Amino acid sequence: MPNPTRTCCMEEITLEPHLPPIIIGGGSLKIEMKHRCSYQPLANDPSLLNHKYVVRGEDYSFIRRVVVIREGEQIVCCSYDNLPDGCEVHIWLQKLKAVPASDIDYEPLTAIPQLRLKGTTANPRTNSELEIKSDEEFGNRAPTHKQHRPHNYFHRGYGGRHFRIGKWEIVDANGAVVTDGLNNFRESGDDGYRIALGFDHVQP
Query: pLDDT tens digits for 77-124?
Result: 999 999 999 999 999 999 999 999 999 999 999 999 999 999 887 665
- Choose the weakest-confidence range: 2-6, 131-135, 150-154: 150-154
Residue 98 near residue 116, CB atoms below 8 Å: no
Residue of 91 and 151 predicted with greater confidence: 91
The one-character DSSP state at 87 is -
CB atoms within 10 A of CB 197: 22
Residue of 79 and 33 predicted with greater confidence: 79
Query: pLDDT tens digits for 42-72?
Result: 877 777 788 999 888 777 888 999 999 999 8
- Choose the weakest-confidence range: 94-103, 140-149, 155-164, 183-192: 140-149
pLDDT above 70 for 189: yes
Q: Quote the pLDDT of residue 28.
A: 63
Residue of 126 and 138 predicted with greater confidence: 138
Nearest CA among 59, 71, 58 for reference residue 15: 59
Entry pTM: 0.86
Q: Quote the pLDDT of residue 117.
A: 94
What is the three-class DSSP state of 168? strand
Angle at 130 between CA 127 and CA 136, to 5 degrees: 140
